[in-house]
Chain A
Amino acid sequence: MTDKNTVLDDVVNGEEAPPSSSSKRLAIEWAPFHRGKVGEETLVKRALRSTPLFENLRSRDWKLMSDLFHVRDYSAGEVIFEKGTPGLGMYVIVDGRVKIVTEEKGKDVVLTTLNHGDFFGEMSLIDEIERSAGAVAETQTRLVGLFRPQLQQLMTHRPRLGITLFERLAKIVVQRLRYSNQLLLQQMQEYKSQEQA
């Protein structure tokens, strides 16, 4: 169960932004300010815990991990990384929206839009491969980044935790591979049926 019952909590957590700015203003006006502000660390933790890579980590491990993350703020329209540049690591969205874009025939094509709790760029944690697509902040966005040098550092300093993360990373990559295989199979079947027709 979550403790997000008010519009303000949603605003603070970056989940499903209210449809209009007036409701946001109203939410702030009626905010239970005595409860205090949700700290940056809590927000980061919440976002990270919702990803399969960092869920169910022990509190001792969290303490270690928090030294490795980099929190970055992007304004709307700002480029996070470009397609074809060397990939260094992954990002988790704490707040805001990110669109994944690629270029086709000189035009930008949006592949998908990601929200709070989503993550991207995880393949770069394994190897320095070129980014297959670009990422652009659609709104004011806060991201948490984990990068290969830090993960390698973790592998040397805390091998057990490092292996756990790598296992989870492998699972995610396998899921993506299965998904793309399925898509490929589907497209091949469609192509065959079209050819037969």
Chain B
Amino acid sequence: MSQSLDEITLQLKRRHRQSRLMKWLSMGALGLAGLFLVFFFTDMLMKGLPAFQQAQIQVKAHYSEQASKMPPAAVDEDIRDLVSRGWLRLIPRQIQDQPKLLGTTRTEWVLADGQVDQYLKDHPNRLSEDARARVDEMVAQGRAELRFNLRFFTSGDSKMPELAGIMAAALGTVWTMLVTLVIAFPIGVMTAIYLEEFAPDNRLTQLIEININNLAAIPSILFGLLGLAIFINFFGVPRSTPLVGGMTLALMTLPVIIIATRTALRSVPDSIRHAAFGVGCSRWQVVRDHVLPLAMPGIMTGSIIGLAQAMGETAPLIIVGMVAFIPDVGGTITDAATVLPAQVFTWSGEPDRAFVEKTAGGIVVLLAVLIALNATAVLLRRKFERRW
């Protein structure tokens, strides 16, 4: 009546093959995703790391009367086109600031032109044959080399790639994140406390819940439209500022913080609440003194992740005008500013190829910060993880 074990085993061959195929296919999919991750990071590092170095050349700088009026006169004619015009432009100011300099000639390492930099890095460039020969000669003499690009980390934006830096954008990011956190954290935590600990289970509460889930999934650009129409046009918050950017991002981050806080509150077992009620605490005292402290690590983790998400956001900030050109470092929450991802965006649109590496360099910094933030969140969770 029944088949024997051997017969069945024989029949199963094909089906086992299919099963194995599924295993290999699914493993391959995961591998593909991993491979992409590796490819992506390698590509970004390869493109971005050169931005941390910048070509400098050794020149004789003549701080003459003539140079203070016509800066290019400060260097010999044969290397005039190899020196950064940005550096040349600063000469009159330098002479003004330090009158002692006037009339002296110094041998200095100065910033090279962006094209020289690209040439030294073997990137495509517009340097003429003749100029290349001169650069090669200077390299041979040890008068031209790639050095660590401190300026990239300390200066603001510039139209000249060799002068451009991320500091202004980084500062803008800090201000914007500060505004975001100050608004989103208390409101988010309070909302979560209400929903988790106080709210009656009725239609309205369910509506709020669905609404929060929906907000978490709404395209970020729509938050930008809200920022533009309501914050800027209606309330008159100044455009392009960390204030309006931070407010917009706060609304975006809110659902993340709410959801994380609710999860954290829910993981505190009811026995703790019952014990606190048992000794006569009111509902608010139970939450404040017993539940919140236990949920804090989870809340912090969620907030950091939410903040990291907001930090990488660009689209809504473009809409509220935070893509300003900010050459100077400094400014407060009501001054026009830009943020790191927006800086990346503006640089990526620059036609000069030297900006490609600046863009990638900015990306490397941004990714480093984000990874550090997320790692902090993970460590925090590991450290305080508690199983009830």
Co-assembled chains A and B: no
